[in-house]
C-alpha cells in the first residue's frame, strides 16, 4: 500500500466526534422564551400597524406625507396594492396594501396570515402585544442578570483582544462570506462576528424596541415625559419601533440560514440539551514506517 494512503488512513482513524457543553440552562430557556415572545410580538404588532398602515416622523401624523405607507388604490376598475417608501412606489398586490388570494382580497397593510389575530381586531392585537411584551422584558432582564452574575456575558459574549485584531476580523468576514464555519476547538466558542452581532441585538435593537414601545404608552409618557422626545415625538417613536423590529426580523432570517448551513441538527441539539458535537483529533497509534 502506498505510504500516503497509509498516512490518510491513520489520520482518518484519529478523528472523532465528541459532545461538548456549549449553552447553559439559562441561555437555552431564555432563548426559546424569546423565540415565542418575539414571534407573538411581531405578529400582534403587525395587527396594530394595520390599524393605520403608514409611518411618519415627528410628533403628529401628516397624512399627506408618510415616509412609508401600504394602501389600496384604484387603477381604472382594478384594485391594486401599493407600498410607498419615500418617493418610491411598488406594486405589492396580494401581499401589502391589497392582500389575500385572488377574489378574497381586502384592504390591509400586512396579510391575515402574518397577524395575530388573523381577523381585524386592534383590541385583541394590543392585548396579545402587551402581554408578551412584559414576558419579553422579564425574560431579557433575567438573561442579563444571570448572565452577568454567572460570567456568561463577560466570558462568552465580549470579544477578546486577539479577536479584535483587524486581520482576524477580516478573516472571519471572508470565511463567513464563503460559508466556512469553525471546526474542532474553535467551534466551542462564539467567533467575533457572532459576538458583534449578538451584542448589537441584545444590547442595541432589543432595548431600543422596548424603549420605543414604552414611549408610545400614554401612562408611561406621564411618568417619563422626556423619553418620547428622545425619539422626536410619538410618530418618530413608532417609526423607530418599526425599524428596530425589522432589524430583528432580518437578524432572525440570517441567523436561521446560518444555523441550517452550519449543521441544523447539531445547532438545534445544542440549544435544547446544551451539547454540541465537534470533531477532534486524537494521537495516532503507531507511526508509518
Q: 10 Å Cβ neighbour count for 87? A: 6
pLDDT bucket at 2, cuts 50 / 70 / 90? low
Q: Where in the chain are all domains bearing CATH 1.20.950.20?
A: 3-54+115-281
**pLDDT tens profile 123-134:** 999 999 999 999
Q: Which residues of 175-204 are buried (b: 16+ CB within 10 A; e: fewer)?
A: eeeeeeebeeeebeebbbbbbbbeeebbee
Q: Which has more confidence, 188 or 69?
A: 69
**pLDDT tens profile 67-125:** 999 999 988 888 999 999 998 999 999 999 998 887 788 899 999 999 999 999 999 99
pLDDT bucket at 289, cuts 50 / 70 / 90? very low
Which cell numbers hold the place of 289?
A: 514506517
Q: Which has more confidence, 17 or 48?
A: 48
Share of the chain above pLDDT 70, in %: 91
Taking each continuous run of H as one helix and of E as one strand, the counts in the chain are 11, 8
Q: What is the pLDDT of residue 128?
A: 96
Q: Determine phi and psi for 32, rounding to 5 degrees.
A: -70, -30
Angle CA 132–47–99, to nearest 5: 145
| Least trusted range by pLDDT, from 90-99, 156-165, 216-225 | 216-225
**pLDDT tens profile 236-261:** 999 999 999 999 999 999 999 989 98
Written out in words, the top-level CATH class of the domain with range 3-54+115-281 is mainly alpha
- Whole-number Å distance between alpha carbons of 243 and 97: 19
**pTM of the complete model:** 0.84
Q: What is the pLDDT of residue 288?
A: 44
Q: What is the pLDDT of residue 177?
A: 83
Amino acid at each position: 500500500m502506498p505510504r500516503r494512503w497509509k498516512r490518510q488512513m491513520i489520520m482518518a482513524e484519529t478523528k472523532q466526534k465528541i459532545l461538548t457543553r456549549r449553552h447553559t440552562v439559562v441561555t437555552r430557556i431564555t432563548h426559546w422564551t424569546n423565540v415565542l415572545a418575539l414571534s407573538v410580538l411581531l405578529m400582534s404588532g403587525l395587527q396594530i400597524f394595520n390599524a393605520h398602515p403608514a409611518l411618519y416622523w415627528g410628533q403628529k401624523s401628516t397624512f399627506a406625507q408618510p415616509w412609508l405607507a401600504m394602501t389600496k388604490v384604484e387603477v381604472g376598475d382594478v384594485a391594486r396594492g401599493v407600498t410607498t417608501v419615500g418617493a418610491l412606489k411598488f406594486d405589492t398586490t396580494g401581499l401589502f396594501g391589497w392582500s389575500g388570494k385572488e377574489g378574497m382580497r381586502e384592504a390591509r397593510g400586512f396579510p391575515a396570515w402574518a397577524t395575530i389575530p388573523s381577523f381585524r381586531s386592534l383590541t385583541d392585537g394590543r392585548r396579545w402585544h402587551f402581554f408578551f411584551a412584559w414576558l419579553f422584558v422579564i425574560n431579557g432582564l433575567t438573561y442579563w442578570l444571570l448572565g452577568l452574575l454567572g460570567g456568561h456575558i463577560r466570558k462568552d459574549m465580549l470579544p477578546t483582544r486577539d479577536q479584535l485584531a483587524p486581520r482576524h476580523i477580516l478573516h472571519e468576514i471572508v470565511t463567513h462570506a464563503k460559508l466556512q464555519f469553525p471546526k474542532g476547538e474553535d467551534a466551542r466558542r462564539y467567533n467575533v462576528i457572532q459576538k458583534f452581532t449578538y451584542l448589537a441585538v441584545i444590547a442595541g435593537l432589543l432595548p431600543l424596541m422596548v424603549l420605543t414601545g414604552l414611549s408610545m404608552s400614554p401612562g408611561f409618557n406621564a411618568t417619563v415625559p422626556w423619553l418620547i422626545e428622545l425619539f422626536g415625538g410619538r410618530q418618530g417613536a413608532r417609526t423607530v419601533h418599526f425599524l428596530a423590529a425589522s432589524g430583528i426580523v432580518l437578524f432572525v432570517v440570517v441567523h436561521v440560514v446560518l444555523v441550517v448551513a452550519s449543521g441544523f441538527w447539531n445547532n438545534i441539539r445544542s440549544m435544547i440539551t446544551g451539547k454540541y458535537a465537534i470533531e477532534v483529533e486524537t494521537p495516532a497509534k503507531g507511526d508509518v514506517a
